[in-house]
Amino acid sequence: MKSSRFRVHPSWIIVLAGVSAALHVGKLPPALPVLQVALGISLVEAGFLMSLVQMAGMALGLLVGLGADSLGLRRCMLVGLAVLSTASLLGGCADHGAALLLLRGVEGLGFLLVVMPAPTLIRRTVALEALGPRLGWWGAYMPLGSAIALLIGPWVLADWHWSVWWWSLGLVSALAWVAVWWAVPELAAVRPAAQGPVARSEWLPRLRLTVRSPGPWLVALCFAAYSAQWMAVIGFLPLVYAQMGLAAGITGVLTAAVALVNVSGNVLSGRLVQRGWSAATVLQLGFAAMAVGAVGAFGQWQGEGLVLPLRFASVVFFSAVGGLIPGTLFLMAVRLAPSENTVTTTVGAMQQWSALGQFVGPPLVAWVAAGVGGWQWTWVVTVALCLVGGALAGRVGRLC
């Protein structure tokens, strides 16, 4: 399939739809200082508000992955974009924290419905030789969306009420719905002719095959170890910089830069694996870089740490080289799925554990920061997660 009705390959429209969904994850960090004042939200509550968008993925990721083929991959994405748009538009009308929390949960369901079918759609619309690089680009949907939100958000919030920010992104999702509806074809679900329980479209056989196979578990747990620390660090950076006295516009630019460099690692990961690098090597390189970068960014020795420029360079290193991890894991999810009919289910399992990591990571880091009176022990959480991720990466490599 060479192009869509827009004369753009459908896979690029799918990536852009993912970016539009990620905007809703990234829209909260620049708004946290404003929401803390406007709605009286505490630091730990802010952590849960940041991570609640992952509740649906944490609870329903595997089930949505199972049902995506039955619903239709394109239709699943369209429903998700509609849910995101509606929830964001209503969220802009919220006048207290409880309503915003509830709608963040609804946004999480929409986000899940958008991103779940995307890797399978990409796999079915690109040639095999282009799959690695294109899935690398798909792995960048989160940092791209987060970077755009972190860059634009502070300027919108400085001149307008925070509701305008929510309403604007609701309209962006509506436009993404139109693009997917117009440009991405509906693809029939795979129906193997072979006999046996997995050849049928029933959910239970696919679920059993997925959960009994080691590959889906390993990529899912590895993604959780990555996503927990990346979301915690990137999510709280605007607040960290604001507490250091930096202006809102500067904090937005700095945080957006940190998120944006993650794209380079995602794109590079597909090319490295395609050129013969082992998945274990690429993944372990990413986790090692995140550990070193977190120590440089947050660590203190004798009451002091690195100067601000070196701290910023460390967190850039953390994000850029850490970006090797998600791009590699999306490719491994496609390769390690136990059958053609369980690719979306495997991605669902990975998304579920990724959501769990993103749900637990920010409140955990906020709890540590609140307990010690600062961010200086954040690196302990991230290094522990990197050690777990590195060990899991070795297991992934032995399966490839």
Which residue would you say has higher pLDDT here, 199 or 337? 337
How large is the average pLDDT for residues 225-241?
83
CATH number of 10-184+196-399: 1.20.1250.20
In this predicted structure, the answer to whether residue 193 has a pLDDT above a threshold of 50 is no
Percent of the chain with pLDDT over 90: 23
Residue 226: per-residue pLDDT: 94
Partners of 301 in the β-ladder = 304
Average pLDDT, the chain: 81
d(CA 287, CA 395): 14
Cα distances from 43 to residues 50, 83, 96, 366, 378, in angstroms, run 11, 28, 16, 7, 15
Residue given tokens 């305008």 in the structure block: 164
d(CA 169, CA 23): 7
Residue 200: per-residue pLDDT: 43
Cα distances from 7 to residues 1, 78, 135, 173, 398, in angstroms, run 11, 20, 20, 21, 41
How large is the average pLDDT for residues 383-387?
94
Residue given tokens 């006295």 in the structure block: 245
Number of helical H runs and strand E runs in the chain: 19, 0
d(CA 72, CA 218): 27
Residue 305: per-residue pLDDT: 63
Nearest to 123 by CA among 69, 200, 201: 69
Among the ranges given (265-269, 276-280, 298-302, 396-400), the one the predictor scored with the smallest mean pLDDT: 298-302
How large is the average pLDDT for residues 313-339?
88
Q: What is the band of 195 on the pLDDT scale with cuts at 50, 70, 90?
A: very low
Residues 6+ apart with CB under 8 A from 163: 92, 93
The structure's pTM equals: 0.75
- DSSP conformational letter for 274: H
